[in-house]
Amino acid sequence: MANTYLIVPFKEKDSVKALGARWDSDAKRWYVLDGQDLAPFTTWLPDSPQASTARAIAPPTESTALQAVPRGIPLSRLLQGVAKAVADAYSAGVWTTVEVLRASAKDGHVYLELSERDAEGRVLAKTNAAIWARTAERIVPEFERATGATLGAGIKLLVRARPVYKPQFGFSLEIDAIDPTYTLGDLEAKKRELRERLKREQLYDLNKRLPAPWDFYTVLVVAPQGGAGLGDFAKEADRLAQFAVCHFTYVHSRFQGEGAAAEILEALMSRFAQFSDGQPPDAVILIRGGGAVNDLAWLNDYSLARFICECPVPVLTGIGHERDSTVLDEVAHMSFDTPSKVIAAIEQLVTRRAREARAAYDSIVNRGLRDTDRMQTSIEKLDSEVKAAASSTIADAQAQCTQLMANLRLDSVRMVHRAAGQVQDLFSEVRTGATMHVARAKHLVPTALNAVKVDAFSALRTAKVQLDATLPTLLDRSSLDVRRSRAAIDAEFNSVVDRSRQTTRDASNGAQALVREIAGQGPQKTLGRGFAIVRGAGGKTLTSAESAASAKSIEVAFKDGKVDATVRDVKLGASDEVLGKLDSGGN
Protein backbone atom coordinates (compact mmCIF):
# COMPACT_ATOMS: atom_id res chain seq x y z
CA MET A 1 0.00 0.00 0.00
CA ALA A 2 1.15 3.54 -0.74
CA ASN A 3 1.50 6.49 1.60
CA THR A 4 -1.61 8.61 2.19
CA TYR A 5 -1.30 12.25 1.16
CA LEU A 6 -3.17 14.97 3.02
CA ILE A 7 -4.71 18.31 2.10
CA VAL A 8 -3.18 20.66 4.70
CA PRO A 9 -3.49 24.48 4.67
CA PHE A 10 -0.23 26.26 5.44
CA LYS A 11 -1.38 27.52 8.83
CA GLU A 12 -2.21 23.94 9.91
CA LYS A 13 1.13 22.38 9.02
CA ASP A 14 2.40 22.49 12.57
CA SER A 15 -0.64 20.55 13.79
CA VAL A 16 -0.24 17.67 11.31
CA LYS A 17 3.50 17.62 11.92
CA ALA A 18 2.89 17.31 15.67
CA LEU A 19 0.64 14.29 14.96
CA GLY A 20 3.39 12.51 13.00
CA ALA A 21 2.79 13.56 9.39
CA ARG A 22 5.81 13.96 7.10
CA TRP A 23 6.64 16.43 4.34
CA ASP A 24 7.27 15.31 0.78
CA SER A 25 9.55 17.95 -0.67
CA ASP A 26 9.12 16.71 -4.23
CA ALA A 27 5.33 16.63 -4.15
CA LYS A 28 5.19 19.64 -1.77
CA ARG A 29 2.58 17.84 0.31
CA TRP A 30 2.18 16.25 3.71
CA TYR A 31 1.67 12.52 3.95
CA VAL A 32 1.11 9.69 6.45
CA LEU A 33 3.26 6.57 6.29
CA ASP A 34 1.72 3.34 5.11
CA GLY A 35 0.22 1.45 8.07
CA GLN A 36 -0.03 4.50 10.31
CA ASP A 37 -3.43 5.14 11.95
CA LEU A 38 -5.34 7.70 9.85
CA ALA A 39 -7.93 8.56 12.51
CA PRO A 40 -6.03 11.68 13.80
CA PHE A 41 -5.77 12.94 10.19
CA THR A 42 -9.45 12.60 9.24
CA THR A 43 -9.81 16.36 8.79
CA TRP A 44 -7.11 16.47 6.12
CA LEU A 45 -7.93 13.26 4.15
CA PRO A 46 -8.77 14.03 0.48
CA ASP A 47 -11.88 11.81 0.39
CA SER A 48 -13.23 13.00 3.74
CA PRO A 49 -16.68 14.69 3.47
CA GLN A 50 -15.62 16.98 6.30
CA ALA A 51 -12.32 17.97 4.68
CA SER A 52 -13.58 21.17 3.12
CA THR A 53 -15.53 22.15 6.23
CA ALA A 54 -12.60 21.35 8.54
CA ARG A 55 -10.26 23.45 6.43
CA ALA A 56 -12.58 26.40 6.85
CA ILE A 57 -12.56 25.96 10.57
CA ALA A 58 -9.62 26.24 12.99
CA PRO A 59 -7.20 23.31 12.96
CA PRO A 60 -7.87 20.48 15.38
CA THR A 61 -6.59 21.04 18.88
CA GLU A 62 -4.58 18.63 20.89
CA SER A 63 -7.62 17.68 22.95
CA THR A 64 -9.73 16.80 19.88
CA ALA A 65 -6.86 14.82 18.40
CA LEU A 66 -6.46 12.85 21.57
CA GLN A 67 -10.18 12.24 21.73
CA ALA A 68 -10.08 10.92 18.16
CA VAL A 69 -7.18 8.59 18.95
CA PRO A 70 -7.89 6.60 22.06
CA ARG A 71 -4.31 5.39 22.34
CA GLY A 72 -2.80 8.86 21.74
CA ILE A 73 0.74 9.79 20.68
CA PRO A 74 3.91 10.03 22.76
CA LEU A 75 4.43 13.29 24.65
CA SER A 76 7.91 13.64 23.20
CA ARG A 77 6.47 13.60 19.65
CA LEU A 78 3.95 16.28 20.63
CA LEU A 79 6.57 18.48 22.29
CA GLN A 80 8.94 17.97 19.39
CA GLY A 81 6.24 19.34 17.16
CA VAL A 82 5.93 22.38 19.44
CA ALA A 83 9.71 22.80 19.40
CA LYS A 84 9.77 22.58 15.61
CA ALA A 85 6.96 25.11 15.36
CA VAL A 86 8.81 27.55 17.65
CA ALA A 87 12.05 27.03 15.72
CA ASP A 88 10.34 27.62 12.37
CA ALA A 89 8.53 30.73 13.68
CA TYR A 90 11.69 32.27 15.20
CA SER A 91 14.61 31.15 13.09
CA ALA A 92 16.44 34.39 14.00
CA GLY A 93 16.67 36.44 17.19
CA VAL A 94 14.28 39.29 18.05
CA TRP A 95 15.22 42.49 19.88
CA THR A 96 13.19 42.78 23.10
CA THR A 97 13.32 44.88 26.30
CA VAL A 98 13.56 43.01 29.58
CA GLU A 99 14.28 43.56 33.27
CA VAL A 100 16.61 41.18 35.07
CA LEU A 101 15.10 39.58 38.18
CA ARG A 102 17.97 37.20 38.92
CA ALA A 103 21.36 36.42 37.38
CA SER A 104 23.86 33.62 37.97
CA ALA A 105 26.87 32.12 36.22
CA LYS A 106 28.06 28.51 35.94
CA ASP A 107 30.80 27.00 33.79
CA GLY A 108 31.00 30.22 31.81
CA HIS A 109 27.28 30.23 31.00
CA VAL A 110 25.09 33.11 32.26
CA TYR A 111 21.58 32.20 33.40
CA LEU A 112 18.96 34.96 33.75
CA GLU A 113 15.41 35.29 34.98
CA LEU A 114 13.72 38.04 32.97
CA SER A 115 10.44 39.93 33.36
CA GLU A 116 8.37 42.82 32.14
CA ARG A 117 6.58 45.14 34.59
CA ASP A 118 3.96 47.83 34.15
CA ALA A 119 4.14 51.35 35.63
CA GLU A 120 2.79 50.08 38.97
CA GLY A 121 5.41 47.34 39.16
CA ARG A 122 3.11 44.42 38.36
CA VAL A 123 4.72 41.56 36.44
CA LEU A 124 3.25 41.22 32.97
CA ALA A 125 5.53 38.47 31.66
CA LYS A 126 8.38 36.32 32.97
CA THR A 127 10.72 33.70 31.53
CA ASN A 128 14.20 32.21 31.81
CA ALA A 129 17.07 33.01 29.47
CA ALA A 130 20.63 31.88 28.91
CA ILE A 131 23.80 33.31 27.39
CA TRP A 132 25.99 30.39 26.42
CA ALA A 133 29.63 30.52 27.43
CA ARG A 134 31.08 31.25 23.98
CA THR A 135 28.62 34.10 23.43
CA ALA A 136 29.00 35.38 27.01
CA GLU A 137 32.77 35.65 26.56
CA ARG A 138 32.14 38.06 23.74
CA ILE A 139 29.12 40.21 24.67
CA VAL A 140 29.20 40.45 28.50
CA PRO A 141 32.64 42.14 28.86
CA GLU A 142 31.80 44.47 25.99
CA PHE A 143 28.51 45.42 27.72
CA GLU A 144 30.22 46.01 31.08
CA ARG A 145 32.96 48.14 29.49
CA ALA A 146 30.42 50.26 27.64
CA THR A 147 28.00 50.80 30.54
CA GLY A 148 30.09 50.29 33.65
CA ALA A 149 27.27 48.02 34.86
CA THR A 150 27.14 44.34 35.64
CA LEU A 151 24.44 41.89 34.74
CA GLY A 152 22.43 41.74 37.95
CA ALA A 153 19.00 42.09 39.45
CA GLY A 154 17.16 45.33 38.68
CA ILE A 155 18.97 46.27 35.47
CA LYS A 156 17.00 46.82 32.29
CA LEU A 157 18.36 45.46 28.97
CA LEU A 158 17.67 45.53 25.28
CA VAL A 159 18.66 42.02 24.15
CA ARG A 160 18.46 40.02 20.93
CA ALA A 161 16.92 36.72 21.91
CA ARG A 162 15.68 33.66 20.06
CA PRO A 163 12.76 31.72 21.64
CA VAL A 164 13.63 28.04 22.12
CA TYR A 165 11.42 25.18 23.21
CA LYS A 166 13.01 21.91 24.36
CA PRO A 167 10.87 18.92 25.35
CA GLN A 168 13.15 18.17 28.31
CA PHE A 169 13.51 21.74 29.68
CA GLY A 170 10.56 23.75 28.37
CA PHE A 171 10.54 27.29 27.00
CA SER A 172 13.45 29.76 27.32
CA LEU A 173 15.32 32.47 25.45
CA GLU A 174 18.83 32.27 24.03
CA ILE A 175 20.50 35.70 24.06
CA ASP A 176 23.23 36.46 21.54
CA ALA A 177 23.49 40.30 21.75
CA ILE A 178 22.97 43.17 24.24
CA ASP A 179 22.58 46.85 23.34
CA PRO A 180 24.47 48.91 25.99
CA THR A 181 23.00 52.23 24.85
CA TYR A 182 19.52 51.19 25.99
CA THR A 183 20.73 50.40 29.51
CA LEU A 184 22.63 53.67 29.74
CA GLY A 185 19.61 55.53 28.46
CA ASP A 186 17.28 53.87 30.96
CA LEU A 187 19.56 54.66 33.91
CA GLU A 188 20.02 58.23 32.75
CA ALA A 189 16.26 58.62 32.17
CA LYS A 190 15.55 57.63 35.75
CA LYS A 191 18.12 60.13 37.03
CA ARG A 192 16.74 62.85 34.75
CA GLU A 193 13.16 62.22 35.90
CA LEU A 194 14.20 62.32 39.57
CA ARG A 195 16.31 65.45 39.02
CA GLU A 196 13.45 67.30 37.30
CA ARG A 197 10.98 66.35 40.02
CA LEU A 198 13.25 67.73 42.75
CA LYS A 199 13.69 70.94 40.76
CA ARG A 200 9.93 71.30 40.27
CA GLU A 201 9.45 70.97 44.01
CA GLN A 202 12.28 73.51 44.60
CA LEU A 203 14.26 71.01 46.65
CA TYR A 204 17.16 70.32 44.34
CA ASP A 205 19.73 72.80 45.73
CA LEU A 206 18.45 73.29 49.30
CA ASN A 207 21.36 71.46 50.87
CA LYS A 208 23.89 73.14 48.61
CA ARG A 209 22.70 76.56 49.81
CA LEU A 210 23.51 75.74 53.44
CA PRO A 211 26.67 77.44 54.73
CA ALA A 212 29.68 75.15 54.61
CA PRO A 213 30.83 73.77 57.97
CA TRP A 214 33.28 76.18 59.58
CA ASP A 215 34.91 73.21 61.30
CA PHE A 216 34.19 69.55 61.97
CA TYR A 217 33.71 68.42 65.54
CA THR A 218 30.83 65.87 65.34
CA VAL A 219 30.13 63.95 62.12
CA LEU A 220 27.50 61.29 61.31
CA VAL A 221 28.80 58.65 58.86
CA VAL A 222 26.50 56.23 56.96
CA ALA A 223 28.28 53.36 55.19
CA PRO A 224 27.90 49.63 54.45
CA GLN A 225 29.41 47.58 57.24
CA GLY A 226 32.76 46.02 56.44
CA GLY A 227 33.16 47.84 53.14
CA ALA A 228 36.61 48.69 51.77
CA GLY A 229 35.65 52.34 51.42
CA LEU A 230 34.65 52.49 55.08
CA GLY A 231 38.01 50.97 56.06
CA ASP A 232 39.94 53.65 54.13
CA PHE A 233 37.80 56.38 55.69
CA ALA A 234 37.94 55.03 59.24
CA LYS A 235 41.73 54.65 59.18
CA GLU A 236 42.17 58.43 58.93
CA ALA A 237 39.05 59.26 60.95
CA ASP A 238 40.24 57.19 63.91
CA ARG A 239 43.44 59.21 63.96
CA LEU A 240 41.46 62.44 64.27
CA ALA A 241 39.19 60.92 66.93
CA GLN A 242 42.22 59.63 68.89
CA PHE A 243 43.39 63.20 69.50
CA ALA A 244 39.82 64.46 70.15
CA VAL A 245 39.94 66.59 67.02
CA CYS A 246 36.64 65.24 65.67
CA HIS A 247 34.09 62.70 66.86
CA PHE A 248 32.60 60.27 64.29
CA THR A 249 29.30 58.38 64.77
CA TYR A 250 28.89 55.41 62.38
CA VAL A 251 25.56 54.03 61.12
CA HIS A 252 25.63 50.95 58.88
CA SER A 253 23.26 50.18 56.01
CA ARG A 254 23.15 48.39 52.66
CA PHE A 255 23.99 50.57 49.65
CA GLN A 256 22.79 48.29 46.84
CA GLY A 257 19.96 45.91 46.14
CA GLU A 258 16.23 46.39 46.41
CA GLY A 259 15.27 48.34 49.56
CA ALA A 260 18.79 49.75 50.09
CA ALA A 261 17.62 53.38 49.78
CA ALA A 262 14.79 52.83 52.27
CA GLU A 263 17.25 51.24 54.72
CA ILE A 264 19.63 54.20 54.43
CA LEU A 265 16.73 56.63 54.94
CA GLU A 266 15.51 54.74 58.00
CA ALA A 267 19.01 54.75 59.50
CA LEU A 268 19.34 58.52 58.95
CA MET A 269 15.90 59.34 60.36
CA SER A 270 16.34 57.18 63.46
CA ARG A 271 19.73 58.72 64.17
CA PHE A 272 18.47 62.29 63.66
CA ALA A 273 15.58 61.56 66.04
CA GLN A 274 18.19 61.12 68.79
CA PHE A 275 19.41 64.71 68.30
CA SER A 276 16.38 66.02 70.26
CA ASP A 277 18.58 68.34 72.31
CA GLY A 278 18.93 70.64 69.31
CA GLN A 279 22.59 69.78 68.71
CA PRO A 280 22.76 67.99 65.33
CA PRO A 281 26.14 66.96 63.86
CA ASP A 282 28.24 69.38 61.88
CA ALA A 283 27.76 67.24 58.75
CA VAL A 284 26.35 63.93 57.43
CA ILE A 285 28.60 61.75 55.26
CA LEU A 286 27.45 58.98 52.90
CA ILE A 287 30.31 56.73 51.72
CA ARG A 288 30.78 53.37 50.00
CA GLY A 289 33.42 51.72 47.87
CA GLY A 290 33.40 51.48 44.10
CA GLY A 291 30.73 49.56 42.26
CA ALA A 292 28.98 49.02 38.98
CA VAL A 293 26.59 51.58 37.56
CA ASN A 294 23.54 49.43 38.21
CA ASP A 295 24.69 48.90 41.80
CA LEU A 296 24.76 52.68 42.23
CA ALA A 297 21.36 53.01 40.53
CA TRP A 298 19.65 51.76 43.70
CA LEU A 299 20.63 55.07 45.33
CA ASN A 300 18.65 57.12 42.80
CA ASP A 301 15.62 57.14 45.09
CA TYR A 302 13.24 60.08 45.53
CA SER A 303 12.61 59.72 49.27
CA LEU A 304 16.32 59.45 50.09
CA ALA A 305 17.22 62.34 47.76
CA ARG A 306 14.50 64.53 49.31
CA PHE A 307 15.76 63.82 52.82
CA ILE A 308 19.26 64.90 51.79
CA CYS A 309 17.87 68.07 50.17
CA GLU A 310 15.94 68.97 53.34
CA CYS A 311 18.67 67.86 55.76
CA PRO A 312 19.39 70.76 58.19
CA VAL A 313 23.15 70.16 58.04
CA PRO A 314 25.49 69.83 55.04
CA VAL A 315 25.66 66.37 53.46
CA LEU A 316 28.93 65.09 51.96
CA THR A 317 28.99 62.07 49.64
CA GLY A 318 31.95 59.84 48.88
CA ILE A 319 30.45 57.07 46.79
CA GLY A 320 33.41 55.40 45.11
CA HIS A 321 33.02 55.92 41.40
CA GLU A 322 34.57 58.15 38.78
CA ARG A 323 32.75 57.71 35.47
CA ASP A 324 29.24 58.30 36.78
CA SER A 325 27.40 59.95 39.65
CA THR A 326 24.13 59.47 41.47
CA VAL A 327 21.42 62.00 42.19
CA LEU A 328 22.61 61.95 45.80
CA ASP A 329 25.94 63.40 44.61
CA GLU A 330 24.08 66.12 42.74
CA VAL A 331 21.87 67.28 45.64
CA ALA A 332 24.50 66.91 48.37
CA HIS A 333 26.35 69.95 49.68
CA MET A 334 29.65 68.49 48.45
CA SER A 335 30.50 65.27 46.62
CA PHE A 336 33.79 63.41 46.27
CA ASP A 337 34.93 60.50 44.13
CA THR A 338 36.00 58.25 46.99
CA PRO A 339 35.64 57.97 50.77
CA SER A 340 39.37 58.71 51.11
CA LYS A 341 38.85 62.11 49.47
CA VAL A 342 36.04 62.91 51.92
CA ILE A 343 38.20 62.34 54.98
CA ALA A 344 41.05 64.15 53.24
CA ALA A 345 38.81 67.22 52.79
CA ILE A 346 37.85 67.07 56.47
CA GLU A 347 41.50 66.80 57.46
CA GLN A 348 42.39 69.75 55.23
CA LEU A 349 39.67 71.92 56.78
CA VAL A 350 40.62 70.88 60.30
CA THR A 351 44.30 71.53 59.50
CA ARG A 352 43.47 74.92 58.02
CA ARG A 353 41.41 75.87 61.06
CA ALA A 354 44.21 74.65 63.32
CA ARG A 355 46.76 76.74 61.41
CA GLU A 356 44.46 79.73 61.54
CA ALA A 357 43.98 79.22 65.25
CA ARG A 358 47.73 78.87 65.72
CA ALA A 359 48.37 82.04 63.71
CA ALA A 360 45.68 83.86 65.68
CA TYR A 361 47.20 82.59 68.93
CA ASP A 362 50.68 83.72 67.89
CA SER A 363 49.29 87.11 66.88
CA ILE A 364 47.52 87.46 70.19
CA VAL A 365 50.64 86.42 72.10
CA ASN A 366 52.88 88.85 70.15
CA ARG A 367 50.44 91.68 70.57
CA GLY A 368 50.12 90.81 74.22
CA LEU A 369 53.88 90.90 74.64
CA ARG A 370 54.09 94.29 72.88
CA ASP A 371 51.27 95.66 74.95
CA THR A 372 52.89 94.23 78.09
CA ASP A 373 56.20 95.94 77.32
CA ARG A 374 54.45 99.21 76.60
CA MET A 375 52.38 98.95 79.74
CA GLN A 376 55.48 98.03 81.78
CA THR A 377 57.24 101.20 80.62
CA SER A 378 54.14 103.27 81.31
CA ILE A 379 53.72 101.67 84.72
CA GLU A 380 57.32 102.34 85.69
CA LYS A 381 56.95 105.98 84.64
CA LEU A 382 53.69 106.32 86.51
CA ASP A 383 55.25 104.60 89.51
CA SER A 384 58.03 107.17 89.63
CA GLU A 385 55.58 110.03 89.28
CA VAL A 386 53.34 108.53 91.97
CA LYS A 387 56.25 108.04 94.34
CA ALA A 388 57.46 111.64 93.84
CA ALA A 389 53.98 113.06 94.27
CA ALA A 390 53.43 110.83 97.28
CA SER A 391 56.64 112.00 98.93
CA SER A 392 55.70 115.65 98.37
CA THR A 393 52.17 115.05 99.55
CA ILE A 394 53.39 113.22 102.66
CA ALA A 395 55.79 116.07 103.56
CA ASP A 396 53.01 118.63 103.17
CA ALA A 397 50.68 116.44 105.17
CA GLN A 398 53.24 116.03 107.99
CA ALA A 399 53.69 119.82 108.25
CA GLN A 400 49.94 120.35 108.21
CA CYS A 401 49.46 117.64 110.82
CA THR A 402 52.03 119.20 113.15
CA GLN A 403 50.30 122.59 112.92
CA LEU A 404 46.89 121.03 113.33
CA MET A 405 48.04 119.04 116.39
CA ALA A 406 49.33 122.22 118.03
CA ASN A 407 46.08 124.04 117.31
CA LEU A 408 44.09 121.06 118.55
CA ARG A 409 46.07 120.85 121.78
CA LEU A 410 45.51 124.60 122.46
CA ASP A 411 41.80 124.40 121.69
CA SER A 412 41.46 121.33 123.92
CA VAL A 413 42.98 123.11 126.91
CA ARG A 414 40.67 126.06 126.39
CA MET A 415 37.60 123.86 126.12
CA VAL A 416 38.55 121.91 129.27
CA HIS A 417 38.86 125.12 131.30
CA ARG A 418 35.59 126.44 129.95
CA ALA A 419 33.81 123.14 130.64
CA ALA A 420 35.12 123.00 134.21
CA GLY A 421 33.62 126.42 134.90
CA GLN A 422 30.31 125.46 133.38
CA VAL A 423 30.16 122.25 135.41
CA GLN A 424 30.76 124.13 138.65
CA ASP A 425 27.96 126.56 137.87
CA LEU A 426 25.56 123.78 136.98
CA PHE A 427 26.42 121.84 140.14
CA SER A 428 25.57 124.90 142.26
CA GLU A 429 22.24 125.33 140.45
CA VAL A 430 21.35 121.66 140.94
CA ARG A 431 22.18 121.76 144.65
CA THR A 432 20.10 124.92 145.18
CA GLY A 433 17.12 123.47 143.27
CA ALA A 434 17.24 120.20 145.20
CA THR A 435 17.21 122.03 148.52
CA MET A 436 14.13 124.02 147.50
CA HIS A 437 12.25 120.85 146.35
CA VAL A 438 13.00 119.04 149.64
CA ALA A 439 11.72 121.99 151.69
CA ARG A 440 8.52 122.23 149.70
CA ALA A 441 7.97 118.44 149.96
CA LYS A 442 8.30 118.58 153.76
CA HIS A 443 5.55 121.18 153.82
CA LEU A 444 3.16 119.40 151.40
CA VAL A 445 3.39 115.77 152.64
CA PRO A 446 1.68 116.23 156.12
CA THR A 447 -1.17 118.11 154.48
CA ALA A 448 -1.73 115.41 151.85
CA LEU A 449 -1.56 112.67 154.52
CA ASN A 450 -4.25 114.34 156.64
CA ALA A 451 -6.47 114.64 153.56
CA VAL A 452 -6.09 110.92 152.82
CA LYS A 453 -7.01 110.00 156.40
CA VAL A 454 -10.13 112.18 156.31
CA ASP A 455 -11.28 110.61 152.98
CA ALA A 456 -10.69 107.06 154.34
CA PHE A 457 -12.71 107.64 157.52
CA SER A 458 -15.54 109.15 155.48
CA ALA A 459 -15.64 106.13 153.14
CA LEU A 460 -15.75 103.69 156.10
CA ARG A 461 -18.66 105.48 157.66
CA THR A 462 -20.59 105.49 154.41
CA ALA A 463 -20.03 101.74 153.88
CA LYS A 464 -21.17 100.93 157.42
CA VAL A 465 -24.38 102.89 157.00
CA GLN A 466 -25.13 101.10 153.67
CA LEU A 467 -24.42 97.64 155.19
CA ASP A 468 -26.71 98.28 158.13
CA ALA A 469 -29.47 99.27 155.73
CA THR A 470 -29.23 96.21 153.38
CA LEU A 471 -28.49 93.40 155.93
CA PRO A 472 -32.13 92.71 156.97
CA THR A 473 -33.20 92.48 153.35
CA LEU A 474 -30.48 89.97 152.57
CA LEU A 475 -31.39 87.85 155.61
CA ASP A 476 -35.11 87.81 154.66
CA ARG A 477 -34.35 86.80 151.09
CA SER A 478 -32.04 83.98 152.26
CA SER A 479 -34.67 82.59 154.66
CA LEU A 480 -37.28 82.58 151.89
CA ASP A 481 -34.93 80.69 149.51
CA VAL A 482 -34.20 78.07 152.21
CA ARG A 483 -37.91 77.48 152.84
CA ARG A 484 -38.60 77.07 149.12
CA SER A 485 -35.77 74.56 148.72
CA ARG A 486 -36.92 72.51 151.68
CA ALA A 487 -40.48 72.32 150.33
CA ALA A 488 -39.20 71.17 146.91
CA ILE A 489 -37.01 68.50 148.47
CA ASP A 490 -39.91 67.19 150.56
CA ALA A 491 -42.14 66.98 147.48
CA GLU A 492 -39.53 65.13 145.43
CA PHE A 493 -38.84 62.70 148.30
CA ASN A 494 -42.53 61.88 148.61
CA SER A 495 -42.70 61.26 144.81
CA VAL A 496 -39.75 58.90 144.96
CA VAL A 497 -41.27 57.00 147.86
CA ASP A 498 -44.59 56.63 146.00
CA ARG A 499 -42.90 55.34 142.84
CA SER A 500 -40.83 52.85 144.87
CA ARG A 501 -43.89 51.49 146.59
CA GLN A 502 -45.71 51.09 143.23
CA THR A 503 -42.71 49.32 141.69
CA THR A 504 -42.54 46.95 144.68
CA ARG A 505 -46.23 46.13 144.35
CA ASP A 506 -45.87 45.45 140.58
CA ALA A 507 -42.87 43.16 141.14
CA SER A 508 -44.70 41.23 143.87
CA ASN A 509 -47.72 40.68 141.63
CA GLY A 510 -45.48 39.50 138.75
CA ALA A 511 -43.61 37.07 140.97
CA GLN A 512 -46.84 35.61 142.31
CA ALA A 513 -48.10 35.12 138.74
CA LEU A 514 -44.89 33.34 137.73
CA VAL A 515 -45.08 31.08 140.77
CA ARG A 516 -48.64 30.21 139.89
CA GLU A 517 -47.60 29.51 136.27
CA ILE A 518 -44.70 27.28 137.36
CA ALA A 519 -46.88 25.47 139.84
CA GLY A 520 -49.48 24.84 137.15
CA GLN A 521 -47.06 23.30 134.70
CA GLY A 522 -46.13 19.98 136.32
CA PRO A 523 -44.04 17.15 134.83
CA GLN A 524 -46.90 15.84 132.66
CA LYS A 525 -47.20 19.05 130.67
CA THR A 526 -43.44 19.12 130.16
CA LEU A 527 -43.44 15.53 128.96
CA GLY A 528 -46.34 16.34 126.62
CA ARG A 529 -44.15 18.87 124.76
CA GLY A 530 -41.66 16.15 123.68
CA PHE A 531 -39.31 16.09 126.65
CA ALA A 532 -38.32 12.88 128.54
CA ILE A 533 -36.99 12.14 132.03
CA VAL A 534 -33.93 9.90 132.31
CA ARG A 535 -33.43 8.05 135.63
CA GLY A 536 -30.69 5.80 136.79
CA ALA A 537 -30.50 3.12 139.45
CA GLY A 538 -32.75 3.89 142.44
CA GLY A 539 -34.87 6.30 140.38
CA LYS A 540 -32.24 9.10 140.47
CA THR A 541 -32.73 11.64 137.70
CA LEU A 542 -29.77 11.85 135.27
CA THR A 543 -29.11 15.34 133.87
CA SER A 544 -25.94 14.77 131.79
CA ALA A 545 -24.41 12.34 129.32
CA GLU A 546 -21.43 11.92 131.60
CA SER A 547 -23.66 10.64 134.48
CA ALA A 548 -25.47 8.31 132.06
CA ALA A 549 -22.13 6.81 130.93
CA SER A 550 -21.50 5.32 134.38
CA ALA A 551 -24.96 3.66 134.58
CA LYS A 552 -25.38 0.11 133.40
CA SER A 553 -29.00 0.63 132.49
CA ILE A 554 -31.31 3.59 132.48
CA GLU A 555 -35.04 4.32 132.51
CA VAL A 556 -36.53 6.84 130.07
CA ALA A 557 -39.95 8.23 131.06
CA PHE A 558 -42.27 9.62 128.36
CA LYS A 559 -45.73 11.11 128.75
CA ASP A 560 -47.40 7.77 128.02
CA GLY A 561 -45.00 5.25 129.54
CA LYS A 562 -41.44 4.21 130.39
CA VAL A 563 -38.64 2.51 128.47
CA ASP A 564 -35.73 0.51 129.97
CA ALA A 565 -32.52 0.98 128.01
CA THR A 566 -28.88 -0.07 128.13
CA VAL A 567 -26.10 2.44 127.43
CA ARG A 568 -23.83 1.25 124.55
CA ASP A 569 -21.94 4.35 123.49
CA VAL A 570 -21.70 7.89 124.76
CA LYS A 571 -20.54 10.96 122.73
CA LEU A 572 -19.74 13.97 124.86
CA GLY A 573 -19.69 17.63 123.71
CA ALA A 574 -22.25 17.31 120.85
CA SER A 575 -25.61 18.50 122.10
CA ASP A 576 -27.09 18.53 118.58
CA GLU A 577 -26.19 14.87 117.89
CA VAL A 578 -27.44 11.59 119.33
CA LEU A 579 -25.84 11.18 122.76
CA GLY A 580 -26.22 7.44 123.06
CA LYS A 581 -27.33 4.35 121.25
CA LEU A 582 -30.03 2.64 123.34
CA ASP A 583 -31.35 -0.96 123.20
CA SER A 584 -35.06 -0.94 124.00
CA GLY A 585 -35.87 -3.18 127.05
CA GLY A 586 -39.73 -2.91 127.12
CA ASN A 587 -42.28 -0.58 128.79
Burial class (CB in 10 A: 0-12, 13-18, 19+), 287: buried
The answer on 164 and 56 residing in a single domain is no
DSSP labels for 417-436?
Answer: HHHHHHHHHHHHHHHHHHHH
Enter the pTM of the model.
0.42
Q: What is the pLDDT of residue 520?
A: 62
CA-nearest of 299, 354, 207 to 346 is 354
pLDDT digits (tens, 9 = 90+) for 298-347: 778 888 889 999 998 999 988 866 566 788 888 888 888 888 888 888 88
User: Where residue 237 falls among pLDDT bands split at 50, 70, 90?
Assistant: confident
The answer on 315 and 248 residing in a single domain is yes
Residue 35's SS3 state is: coil
| Count of the separate structural domains present in the chain | 4
pLDDT digits (tens, 9 = 90+) for 388-416: 888 888 888 888 888 888 888 888 788 87
Phi, psi of 141 (to 5 degrees): -60, -40
151 domain residue, yes or no: yes
Q: What is the pLDDT of residue 68?
A: 43
Residue range of the domain that includes 13: 4-88
The answer on 50 and 128 residing in a single domain is no
The answer on 224 and 103 residing in a single domain is no
**Of 293, 320, 354, which marks where a domain is finished?**
354
First-residue to last-residue Cα distance in the chain: 136
Residue 209, pLDDT above cutoff 70: yes
pLDDT digits (tens, 9 = 90+) for 268-297: 888 887 765 567 888 999 988 766 666 677
CA–CA distances in Å: residue 329 to residues 55, 125, 233, 360:
66, 35, 18, 35
The answer on 123 and 233 residing in a single domain is no
- Say how far apart CA 103 and CA 586 lie, in whole Å: 115
Phi, psi of 219 (to 5 degrees): -135, 135
162 domain residue, yes or no: yes
Query: What mean pLDDT is reported for the chain?
Result: 80
**Of 55, 88, 121, which marks where a domain is finished?**
88
Burial class (CB in 10 A: 0-12, 13-18, 19+), 342: buried
- Say how far apart CA 521 and CA 253 lie, in whole Å: 109
The answer on 350 and 269 residing in a single domain is yes
pLDDT digits (tens, 9 = 90+) for 134-184: 998 998 888 878 777 778 887 888 889 989 888 888 888 989 998 888 777
The answer on 337 and 263 residing in a single domain is yes
